[in-house]
Structure 1
Amino acid sequence: MLSKLNLGQKFTLMLLGVFMVGILMGGIALSRLLNYTAQAELTSKALMLMETMNAVRQYTVDEVTPEISERSEVQFLPETVPSYSAHTVFKVLQSSPDYQDFSYREAVLNPTNPKDKADQLEASLVSKFKEADSPEEFHDFRNSPGGKLYYIARPIQIKQEACLSCHSTPERAPKSMVDLYGRQNGFGWKLNDIIGTQIISVPAQTVFTKARKSLLITLGVFTGVFAIAILLVNYWLKRYVVRPLNRMAATAEAVSTGDTKAEFTKWSDDEVGKLTDSFNRMRLSLQMAMQRLERNRNRRPGGSQSG
């Protein structure tokens, strides 16, 4: 099958084979790299959001709570709770297209509000954060009722005494808060305890879609460049190899039928040019041999030439 193809077709098939193997191996490696890059980009955004939420929490503790602490004794005000402030600001950020896919949650082992209760995965993260050699954050994929999520988690640690005014004992907590949530939940916290985890999540499909788009664009560019390369190689091959060889084949055919004056035209000084020189020397040698044979034949008795 291959023996019936011309040089251009053989080179094209060879390049296509190399391209298919290269695109397969490169596509797998590139897909993994782009997935990692997409995760890293989303992680960077999530961590920036988390730092923003921590700044809002700190502002609430330092600036808001002291200003309205007297009012909160009479009536519980959610604005004094750092978690409430963080979630409120995050809802504002979600109105931006850049952050509309993100979600924010503060999961606590023993929360005041039952809706903040940590689930099984979140509780396991809190346990990991409590370990001595635990990293400062975790990021991974998790399953949820709405689909697979990519999450970044950091610990929530009690670092300020002001937080204990509401969560150490029911007696120290604002009466209005105890009346609203009861005396059973959200108490017993201690300074430097890790009581929960901050989690920012984004649908896993967002990660994969972003990586897939980058992969398709990159593979499209590679395919376009390779197609141009094949066209250029075929053009170069046809002009500088195939055409000279075809001319030499036609000249060799003429010489083989007795036209010893037919000359092999030299177009370049490369290997094809050297082959042309060799054919011309062979033609001259053949021409000289034919002339000698003709002279010897004419010198024999009975030849056309007289002595």
Structure 2
Amino acid sequence: MLKNLRLGSKFNLLLIGVFLIGILLSGTALSVILSRNAADQISLKASILIQTMNAVRQYTNDQVNPELAPRLEVEDDFLPETVPGYSAREVFEYFRSDPEYRDFFYKEATLNPTNLRDKADPFETELVNSFRENDSLKELRGNRSLPSGNLYYIARPIKIVQETCLRCHSTPEAAPASQIATYGDQNGFGWQLNEIVGAQIISVPAAEIFKTAQNVLFLVLLTVCIVFAIIILAINIMLRKAVISPLNRMAAVAQDVSTGKMDSKFQQDSHDEIGVLAAAFERMKLSLVMAMEMLNSGGDRQDRQN
């Protein structure tokens, strides 16, 4: 089949083959790089958010709680603003009020929380148990599928390291009266010092970032295809002008010479391989003319002798 194709067609097939192999290899490599970059972006966002929430927790524990704690004994309603986890959750809800971040989530998932809003679901319970089973484990990362889409999460253990926390979580008798009045005496008790009771989890949407990476990959590959198409067109123009057209002219002259039209000339102004070939053909034609003249001269002498 290839033998029946013209030189230009064969050359184009070669270029297209090289291009397809190149686009496959480069596309695969670029896809891996962009996916890794997208994962790094997601991880960076989640890390920044969880550090921000830790700052809110620390501020609440060091400055807000000492100011409000005395009121827990005299007021009828519990003041949740004294709880670092509550402050972090509320601040994050303000953050989520921006439509751009409505799919971001923060939760201090707890196995036995005072506020049932913080109750760990089955997936979160597995994370907490992983921390409880391995005390040296400081962080877990991964993807979680929800009906709303895939989320990338970072989870860190919540460990009771201050005895002041046990005031509200050791026994109902030790807890402030306002806490019992607000949340009851059934949940959030029995915690112990140095016990891992939950996990601090930040979740950010992964779909949009990976979609952006895919769009970038598509645009890059499209640009490469357009550039390659222009290159093929330019190469074809140069090939036709520098190779195919001169070869076609030499073929036409060779055809004329083969039919006895010796006045046709192999003309080529270039000094490249095509020019050298044209000069060689011209010398061959001259040699052929000389040989024919010699044959004709020999034939004439033979006729005169006879």
**Normalised TM-score (structure 2):** 0.88
Range moving further from structure 2, 237-246 or 67-76: 67-76
Match of 1:19 in 2: 19
- Greater shift, 246-255 or 268-277, is seen at 268-277
Question: Is the 2:34–2:217 contact (alpha carbons within 8 Å) kept by the matching residues of 1?
Answer: yes
**For residues 138 and 267 of structure 2, what CA distance do their matches in structure 1 show?**
76
Q: 1:242 aligns with which of 241, 244, 248?
A: 244
Question: Is contact 2:42-2:206 (8 Å) kept?
Answer: no
When structure 1 is superposed on structure 2, of 75-84 and 122-131 the one drifting more is 122-131
Task: Provide the residue aligned with 1:283 in structure 2.
Answer: 285
Distance in 2 of aligned mates of 1:31 and 1:134: 35
CA displacement, residues 110-156 of structure 1 (integer Å, 9 cap, x when unaligned): 11111211122211111222344855322222233434433222222
Kindly state the Cα deviation for residue 249 of structure 1 after the two structures are TM-superposed. 1.2
* Contact 2:158–2:199 under 8 Å retained in 1: yes
Structure 2 SS opposite 1:302: helix
| Alignment-mate amino acid for residue 7 of structure 2 | L
**Equivalent pairs, count:** 304
2:36 maps to 36
Mapped partners of 2:256, 2:136: distance in 1: 85
The corresponding residue for 2:54 is: 54
- Counterpart check, 1:93 vs 2:95: yes
Select which of 274, 277, 287 maps to 2:276. Answer: 274
1:154 pairs with 2:153: no
The 3-state SS of whatever aligns with 1:300 is helix
Distance (Å, rounded) in 2 between the aligned partners of 1:146 and 1:301:
105
- Evaluate the alpha carbon distance shift between residue 124 and residue 255 of structure 1 in structure 2; reply closer, same or farther with a 3 A threshold: same
1:191 to 165, 190, 193: 193
Give the Cα–Cα distance (whole angstroms) in 1 for the partners of residues 74 and 247 of structure 2.
Answer: 101
Deviations 1:166-209 (A, max 9, x none): 22333333221122112232223333322211222234432442
AA in 1 matched with 2:114: T
Given that 1:128 and 1:134 are in contact with CA atoms closer than 8 Å, whether structure 2 keeps it comes out as no
Identity rate, percent? 54
Name the SS of the counterpart of 2:304 in structure 1: coil
Match of 1:137 in 2: 139
Q: CA, structure 1 residues 224+158, in 2 after alignment: closer, same or farther (shift >3 Å)?
A: farther
CA 1:160–1:244 in 2, change beyond 3 Å: closer, same or farther? farther
Question: Is the CA contact (8 Å cut-off) linking 1:106 and 1:197 kept in structure 2?
Answer: yes
Residues 65-124 of structure 1: per-residue CA shift (max 9 Å, x gap):
111111233331111111111112112222445533311111111111112111222111
Partner Cα separation in structure 2 for residue 120 and residue 218 of structure 1? 42
Per the alignment, do residues 266 and 102 of structure 1 end up closer, same or farther by CA in structure 2, a change over 3 Å counting?
same
For 1:267 and 1:195, the matched residues in 2 are separated by 88
Distance 1:282 1:85, change over 3 A: same
> Which residues of structure 2 form unaligned runs of 5+?
none
Stretches of structure 1 that go unaligned for 5 or more consecutive residues are: none
